[in-house]
Structure formats: C-alpha cells, structure tokens
Chain A
Amino acid sequence: MTRHNPARACALAATLALGGGAAMAQEPIKIGVLEDQSGDFAAATMVKVHAIELAAEEINAAGGIAGRPIELVVYDTQSDNRRYQEFMRRVLQRDKVDVVFAGFSSASREAYRPIVNQFDGLAFYNNQYEGGVCDANMIVTGAVPEQQFSTLIPWMMETYGKNVYTLAADYNFGQISAEWVRNIVAENGGTMAGEEFIPLGVSQFSQTIQNIQGAKPDFVVTLLVGAAQASYYEQAASAGVGLPMASSVNVGQGYEHKRFTPPSLKDMYVTTNYIEEIDTPASQAFIAKFKAKYPDEPYINQEAANSYIAMNLYKLMVERAGSTDREALRAEIAKGDVCFDGPSGNVCLDPKSQHMSHTIFLAKVEADHSITFPKVWENIAPYWLGEAGCDLTKNDPSEQYTPSNPPK
C-alpha cells in the first residue's frame, strides 16, 4: 500500500498539471494502434492494445513525451488483412499520426508495409515473426528466428533426438519459419521426419496426427497460428501422440496452456522473450501494474511486453531526438544505444536491422500445465539480417529476406 500511494499522488499531480494548462499548449503526439480486437487472432492480441494503453497512461501521468501528451488512435483490424490496409491509410492520411503500432500476423504486416512505405510513415511491429524485414520505415520489437530457433532447435535435438517433424501454418510466417527449422536441423546433423503446412482456419487434424504417428519423429515443431489451428493439441493428446513439442508461437502468444485441459500440452517447449510466469522483480512489477488496470486480463503474453517496451522506446527516442521526425529518430537508433530496461530485462535496438535484442526464456509446459524455465539465453542480438547484408544506416531496400533469398 505504501508503495502505491506516492505513485498515485504523482499520477494525480501530473493529471492536474496536464489539465491545468501548461501542457495543454503542447500538441499531443498521436499514436495509431492497429491490432486485432475481434476475429481469429483476438485471443492473443487484445492484450497488446491494453499494454499500449497502460504505457500511454503511465507516460502521460509522468508528463508525456517531452512534455507532450500521448493521444492513441485505436482501430480494430478484425484479424483481416484488408482492414489493416484500410486503417493504415486512414491513420496516416486522415488522422496524421506520428507513429503506428500495428500487426499480429505476418500476412497483415506484409499487407500494410507497402502503405507505410508509400506515405513514408513509421510503424512498430511488436510481434515475434519469421524475421528478415529490412525496412527503414519499420521498427520490430518482436523476437526473430535467430533468437527463437537457433536456441530452441539445437537444445531440443540434444535433449530428445535428431529426427524432427514440422507442422506449420500455411502462409509466409509458417513457410519461412519452417525453412529456418529445416536449415538448423541440417546444420546440427539431424533429419526431417516430415513437414506439413496447414491452411489457416483448419480445425480438424485426424490425418495429420496419423502422418506424425507414422513418421515417428523425436519431437514435433508446432508453428500453428490462430484459434482454429490450436485445436490440434487437444486432438493430438486424445489420439495419444505423446511427443515433445517445440514452438516459437504457442504459449507465449495464445496461452494455450491456460485454455486447454492438462495434460494436452505436456512437454511443449517454447522460446519466448516474455510470459507472465517469468519471476523476475521487473516482470512482477509489470504484472502488478497490468492487473491493477485490467484485473480481468486472461494472460499477459510476450506481445504485450513487446508493445509496452515499444511505447517506452519510442518515448526515449523522441526525447533524445527532440522531434518525432522519422529520420531524427533513426539517427538515434544508428548510435546503437537505444535501450530500455523493461519487464523482460534490458533490450536494445540494433541499428542495422532496427530489430531488438532479447533475453530468451525456454518455457516448458509441465503435465499440470504449469511453466518451468529449464534454460535462459541472455541478450541474444537480432544478428541475422545484419550479417546477411542488411544495413539500414546505409540504404533502405524495404524488402523481406529469407535464408534462401538473402540480401544481394
């Protein structure tokens, strides 16, 4: 209680100050928020909007960004790529926001990215993804394959064996992620027992389960996306598949371990940069703040932490640059010391790729669906793009690269 009081007094004082006049003269900084609040992805993404609102409230209570209050312009993109394009045009053209926080699925990001480029805006993509976006108009705070797969797959192969089956959602995220898995398995002397791509929205997995049982892999990499595909775990458990699973998307996004009946997710291993079970003081403080504002929040996932971090990084960059101008902000990133000590530990923006470093936690789902952390990799840089030849401090190709299609 004693801890809360000064904070509340401070917030009150700041609100009064804002209302009082001094800050009123300052133009607000407008932040567009395009996230799915309904549709197939809503379960994983409502919390991102809440995290952004929480950060905005905190920043405003503490006097705003360089004295300017934050004004959020929020639209529900309905898990629909066309909505992203429509609303991205609207926030950039009509609402004239300073920056946009947008996107869950990689399909939605690739749908709106050309529009950000066209209007020369600045967008934060606060989501883990398949990596490779080298675009000066984008800042990515989510984790990428060199952070999630280069850690997870070798660890799984060492622990369970070298025969791997990949089950992935059939769109750019799943296809490119599966390519990463395939490459890492080959580099570590393993074999692919099989690979299957599942169209989004599929919810019946009988045949797939049988294919996996027939291939007898040592573990299954599940890169399934959306509520419909999540039905796989229940169906696999009831068919007695019983294989360990590895993933970059489950648990950390869709909190499947909370939604399904134990033990259907037993022995699922996920590399994530944040989930609410992480027991550091910074994480606990973040959860306490979050639950105070949103007591009914079902789960605080990694994208919530990334969205919150992104808001604070943006504040830091604007205050250092003294402007919201994109090139001035990028000049700050180019210095290589834009860092923030947030709920997931210390993170920094990489100048070459404008992606973020992460501490990666290996989360294991136990039989009762509690989470343990068998391993933590500290401070993994998003190195792949930079090593492959993307350097946004020099040029801006605005492309997405993959291991089989690297920068020329």
Chain B
Amino acid sequence: MDVVSTVFSFAYQFGDAFAFLVISAAGLAVIFGMMGVINLAHGEFIMCGAYVTVAASRIGAPLPLAILCGALVAGLVGMAVERLVIRRLYHRPLDTIVATWGMSLIATQGTLIVLGSTMQGIGTPLGSVAIAGGAYSAYRLVLMAAAIALLVGLWLLFYRTRWGVLARATIQAPHMARALGVETGRVYGMTFGLGAALAGLAGGLYAPTMTMVPTMGATFIVESFVTVVVGGADIFLGAAPAAAILAVIRAGLTAWQGQLFGQIGLLLAVIVVIRLMPGGLSGWLAARARR
C-alpha cells in the first residue's frame, strides 16, 4: 500500500510537471523550434488564451468550448501579428527579439490598463479524487491526458496531413517549396498562427488553476524556453523527450529539496545540454541516426 501510494504520487508529480512543460512549450516549439522566430511574446499569447477562456466561461460557455475559444482567439491574434510585424523580420532574428519583446510589454500593460490589475478566476472544476491513499486534483489528471493528446494531435497534423507536409517543406526549404508552387507566405502565417493558438490553448487549460493577472504569461516563459532549447528544432524528437527528462529532474528535485531546487535543476539541465549538445536533444538524436 505504502509503496503503491509512493509510486503513484511520484508518477502524478512527474505527469504534472510533464504536462506543464509540454503544454506550455508546444506553441513555442512551433514558433521558435520550427520557424526559428524567438518569440518573447509567447507568455502574452498564453495570457490572451487564458483571459478569453475565462471571459467565455463567464458568459456561460462550457469549459472545453471556452478553452477552444481561447486557443482560437490567440491563433487569430497570432496570424495578425505575423502579417503585420513578424513577416518583415524573418531574416532578422535579432530584430524579432526586440519586436516580440515590445509586443509583450504592450500586451501586458495594455491588459493592465484596459482590464485592470486582476480578473476573477473561474475555479478549478472536477474537484479531487482519492487514489492509493492520497487526494489528488482530478483536473490535473485531465491536464496530463491533454498533454498526451496534444502531442498525438500535432504529430498527426504534421506527418499525416497535406498541410503538415507543406508546412515542413516550407520551413526546411522555402525556395524549393515556392518553386513547386507552395504559397509559402500563407504557410508561414498559418504556422505562426498555429503556434500562437497552441500558446492560447496552454493559457486556456491552465486558466482554471491560476491567478488571472496581466503578467501571468511570465510564469510559463522559463519552462517553455528551457524545454524548447533542450529539445531542439523537432517537437517530437526533441520537445517531448526533453519535457519527459526535465519533468523527472524537476519532480525528483522538488520532492527531495523543494521548489527552489526544482528550478535550479531545470536551469542546470539546460546549461549542460547546451554545452554538450548544441543542437538540443533532437539535433543530437538526428546526428546519431545519420552516423
């Protein structure tokens, strides 16, 4: 009994950390990992999704629908941002840092001015469940399932649909894709929109568990960048295993020494990985496969 509860509680903590890393990093993995745009406004897309989710839920939409609304609105905002700003800066990566950082400041302060310093939350649904002698939040189990579903869905989208092939072709060899008749501009716009929508989805999924403030996106930023940097360019070969490894490090260290060491472990891991595998996990795996 004791062994079962210890094992389950570690599995739960691992799953919780894994879900947080995957869900918060998915959008960034598309925008930064695949497209190479260093998006410092990632947190603000998350905030946007969370605010829309709470607002939709407040006017009566059921939570799953509200979350989809949040993702959709964030995606549309992302496509608009790509069209107006990012499109002009694809060949100037350093300038995108400044541009997206500026957008993030505008979004945070704009939300503060328009909607005030805080917004009432909607409460976590589903309550708690008792498993193996401990009480656990049922909604967090849903989040773990959502993280898995998200990975499967993205894999199907990129590897089993025509759009996925076009998107990968456009990003790997834009000139060749254009020569073969792909409207690369549109594909870039939609891919960026997808990344923003995934960020919005992260905000929507975590909105019921968090404080609604304009700066809420910032709490996702470190984890998402660490996951994507450790993972490298490929979401499935990189970000997903990176999230799993980082989740073990984080859950283990947090259980052993508390939150501070969990954070230290995460940052140490990224330093070690950048030193030993500059291409991230996926770059390292790809290089080994080629050998």
Contact = CB atoms under 8 A, between A and B. Distances in A.
A203 B219 contact: yes
A228 B209 CA distance: 11
Given A210-B13, A238-B137, A259 B211 contact: yes
B258 interface: yes
B184 interface: no
B135 A240 contact: yes
Contacts of B219: 201-203, 228
B154 interface: no
A348 to B, nearest CB: 32
Interface in B236-291: 251, 254-255, 258-260, 262-263
Interface in B96-122: 108-109, 112, 116-122
A258 B120 contact: yes
A268 to B, nearest CB: 15
A37 to B, nearest CB: 8
Given A202-B219, A228-B216, A43 B258 contact: no
A283 B258 CA distance: 42
B258 A259 contact: no
B208 interface: yes
Given A201-B219, A210-B9, A261-B122, A230 B211 contact: yes
Interface string A31-46: 0000000111011001
A273 interface: no
Interface residues of A, number: 39
Contacts of B117: 42-43, 46, 298
Contacts of A40: 213, 215
Given A38-B109, A199-B263, A228-B211, 14 more contacts: A204-B20, A206-B13, A227-B118, A228-B219, A234-B121, A234-B209, A235-B209, A237-B124, A238-B126, A239-B128, A240-B127, A240-B136, A264-B124, A296-B116
Interface of A: 38-40, 42-43, 46, 170, 196-199, 201-204, 206-208, 210-211, 213, 227-228, 230-231, 234-235, 237-241, 258-261, 264, 296, 298
The 8 closest A-B pairs by CB, nearest first: A261-B123, A240-B128, A238-B124, A227-B213, A240-B135, A238-B137, A43-B118, A43-B117
